[in-house]
């Protein structure tokens, strides 16, 4: 049991029962998206700790009152912009904040401060925030917000009236930019939104997305730029969006948007660069070329954007970042299909793996130099090994190694090759070499969010838990609206770090969030089983055991038998295996 002073943030969804009665499955899906896209990233960036979750609400502790208030305002602004349907259809939250002593005991939280925060939340309007006078006095002059004095309120089961204030959110934009800029944020920052597919064939969507993603990749090579990762930028796909919404949602100064039309052997790309602070068009261009010139087009767009927002980057640097020419366009097309198939969820079952690998095989038959196909192939084989699919999982790791080696033959400074080899070396127990690969990839491309997700995962398993936390949070900053699988990997890294430190309650908390993002992933399930067993909660381990039996039946046996080792330090690995055995798992 521990006592501490904290800012207590209580949030509750308005009309939860009504929405669940109307559309249970749809409401659950929307709530999951809201937590992934808005609540969890905002709370993480503000240093908050979620201590209680219910179907329609949450309780969060912050060490800083300022961070608690700014996070609340950020969340309400974002939810208001996303939920634009009828009043009856919208998701809305009420938020209450108080500061006071709390007692934390075995994962539960107690104290008058908790009760006051919950009662203040009930006083808020839908989409509003109510804070105590103690909170208001501590943040006054430190946040760009206005307060409305509500006077002393009589709150249910609180013996004395509480002086409260409502936050006036009209006309404010208290997003992450309100925080003091860190060194990363001082760089010119840009989000490349998904280009609109103007082709007559809607099936060309994958090609349009692939071309756009390659522009993101080229921009991200420059350490003087801060480039939002693909999955977060693409979260706005298919809906109208303003420059101010992108600035607030992703924390960037610039956005690049455009369209692509592919017809026979021709491609037309339009692109425009917008200053999100002013809405001014910094640069715009239209290109009409042969399809074979698509790589040159991507480099021209990259060069134009870099020249407009980061003129300190020299021509020589631009030339060094240019891609190798001459990749067969049909091979490139197949690699983009493989990538799209993987992004759409083919990572968690052997049939999906087979489909992606067949596309990469065909792409490499047409052109063995296709680095995109090699990268996807290396990563899918690594995941195949992790899931322990097939009768000889070691063969998958060998295939992954071969694909990574071919990537290096094409370009020894390719961060994707280093990230893939880092994963492989981790599973080969060559941990120091894996660390070197991840760090070198980060030096070459600090904007490569996927490497940061992998590096945090690796660090949490080799005993560098503080580094893992730092890099997991940086990855979420680079890609705050990423696909479930990658956000889930950041949460997994945090769960693995907590488990290694023997904090099973915290490990379960992060593990639950990781599973919410990607249920069909094995390590997080094993951690939940072992943590529950160590805490004597064997019944709570059962659903995770059943889930693994469904999608990765050989995984637990591989861990207990020692065929698969996750943690570097014997004491950490023993903690995992001991927990699995306590749950009843036998090899």
Taken in order 529, 530, 532, 533, is the CA torsion positive or negative? positive
Same domain? For 583 and 524 the reply is yes
Position 218 in a domain: yes
Same domain? For 263 and 349 the reply is no
Q: At what angle do helices 431-444 and 415-427 cross, to 10 degrees?
A: 160
Same domain? For 515 and 580 the reply is yes
Torsion from C-alpha of 334, 335, 341, 342, nearest 10 degrees: 160
Q: 203 pLDDT exceeds 80?
A: no
Classify 105 as helix, strand or coil: strand
Question: What is the per-residue pLDDT for 315?
Answer: 43
Q: What tens digit of pLDDT does each residue of 491-546 get?
A: 999 999 999 999 999 999 899 888 877 888 899 999 999 999 999 999 999 999 99
Same domain? For 159 and 224 the reply is no
Same domain? For 75 and 9 the reply is yes
Q: What tens digit of pLDDT does each residue of 55-110 get?
A: 788 999 999 999 999 999 999 988 888 887 666 678 889 999 999 988 877 667 88
Question: What is the per-residue pLDDT for 317?
Answer: 41
Same domain? For 39 and 167 the reply is yes
Could you give the CA distance from residue 348 to residue 550 in angstroms, rounded to a whole number?
11
Range of the domain at 379: 334-423+431-439
Q: 326 pLDDT exceeds 80?
A: no
Q: What tens digit of pLDDT does each residue of 381-439 get?
A: 998 998 888 888 899 999 999 999 998 888 788 888 999 999 999 999 999 999 999 99
Same domain? For 157 and 224 the reply is no
What whole-number percentage of the chain has pLDDT above 90?
Answer: 35
> What does the buried/exposed string (b/e) look like for 461-488 if buried means 16 or more CB atoms within 10 Å of the residue's CB?
bbbbbebbbebbbbbbbbbbbbbbbbbb
Same domain? For 205 and 319 the reply is yes
Confirm if 455 and 470 have CB atoms less than 8 A apart: no
The CATH number assigned to the domain holding 403 equals 1.25.40
Q: 158 pLDDT exceeds 70?
A: yes
Out of 127, 148, 178, a domain closes at: 178
Same domain? For 276 and 338 the reply is no
Could you give the CA distance from residue 123 to residue 240 in angstroms, rounded to a whole number?
34
Position 391 in a domain: yes
Could you give the CA distance from residue 50 to residue 150 in angstroms, rounded to a whole number?
28
- The number of domains in the chain is 4
Q: What tens digit of pLDDT does each residue of 225-253 get?
A: 788 887 778 878 877 788 887 887 777 88
Same domain? For 386 and 410 the reply is yes
Same domain? For 140 and 270 the reply is no
Same domain? For 470 and 570 the reply is yes
């Amino acid at each position: 049991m521990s006592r501490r002073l904290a800012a207590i943030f209580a949030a509750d969804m308005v009309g939860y029962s009504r929405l669940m009665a109307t559309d249970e499955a749809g409401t659950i899906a929307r709530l999951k998206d809201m937590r992934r896209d808005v609540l969890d990233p905002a709370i993480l960036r503000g240093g908050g700790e979620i201590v209680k979750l219910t179907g329609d609400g949450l309780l969060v502790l912050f060490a800083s009152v300022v961070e608690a208030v700014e996070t609340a305002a950020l969340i309400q602004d974002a939810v208001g912009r996303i939920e634009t349907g009828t009043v009856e259809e919208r998701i809305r939250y009420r938020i209450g904040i108080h500061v006071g002593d709390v007692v934390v005991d075995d994962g539960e939280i107690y104290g008058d401060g908790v009760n006051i925060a919950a009662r203040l939340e009930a006083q808020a309007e839908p989409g509003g925030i109510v804070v105590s006078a103690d909170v208001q006095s501590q943040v006054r002059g430190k946040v760009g917000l206005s307060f409305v004095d509500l006077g002393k309120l009589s709150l249910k089961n609180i013996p004395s009236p509480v002086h409260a204030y409502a936050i006036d959110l009209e006309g404010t934009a208290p997003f992450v930019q309100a925080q003091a800029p860190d060194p990363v944020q001082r760089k010119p920052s840009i989000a490349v939104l998904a280009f609109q597919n103007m082709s007559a064939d809607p099936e060309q969507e994958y090609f349009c997305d692939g071309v756009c993603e390659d522009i993101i990749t080229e921009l991200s090579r420059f350490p003087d730029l801060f480039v939002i990762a693909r999955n977060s930028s693409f979260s706005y796909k298919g809906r109208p969006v303003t420059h101010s919404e992108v600035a607030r949602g992703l924390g960037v100064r610039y956005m690049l948007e455009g369209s692509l039309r592919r017809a026979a052997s021709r491609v037309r790309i339009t692109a425009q660069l917008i200053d999100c602070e002013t809405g001014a068009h910094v640069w715009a261009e239209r290109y009409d070329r042969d399809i074979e010139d698509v790589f040159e087009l991507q480099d021209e767009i990259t060069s134009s954007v870099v020249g407009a927002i980061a003129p300190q980057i020299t021509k020589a640097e631009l030339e060094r970042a240019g891609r190798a020419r001459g990749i067969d366009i049909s091979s490139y097309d197949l690699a983009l299909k493989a990538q799209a198939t993987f992004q759409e969820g083919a990572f968690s079952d052997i049939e999906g793996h087979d489909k992606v690998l067949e596309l990469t095989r065909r792409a490499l038959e047409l052109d063995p130099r296709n680095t995109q196909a090699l990268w996807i192939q290396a990563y899918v084989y690594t995941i195949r090994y992790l899931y322990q699919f097939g009768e000889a999982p070691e063969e998958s790791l060998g295939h992954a190694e071969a694909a990574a080696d071919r990537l290096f033959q094409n370009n020894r400074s390719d961060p994707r090759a280093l990230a893939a080899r880092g994963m492989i070396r981790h599973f080969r127990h060559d941990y120091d070499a894996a660390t070197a690969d991840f760090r070198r990839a980060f030096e070459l491309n600090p904007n490569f969010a996927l490497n940061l997700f992998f590096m945090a995962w690796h660090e949490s398993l080799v005993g560098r838990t503080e580094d893992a936390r730092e890099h997991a949070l940086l990855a979420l900053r680079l890609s705050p609206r990423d696909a479930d699988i990658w956000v889930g990997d950041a949460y997994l890294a945090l769960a693995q770090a907590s488990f290694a430190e023997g904090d099973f309650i915290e490990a379960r908390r992060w593990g639950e969030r990781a599973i919410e993002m990607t249920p069909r992933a094995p390590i997080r399930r094993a951690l939940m089983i072992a943590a529950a067993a160590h805490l004597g909660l064997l019944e709570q381990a059962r659903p995770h055991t059943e889930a693994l039996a469904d999608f990765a039946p050989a995984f637990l046996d591989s861990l207990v038998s020692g065929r698969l080792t996750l943690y570097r330090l014997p004491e950490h690995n023993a903690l995992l295996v001991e927990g699995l055995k306590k749950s009843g798992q036998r090899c």
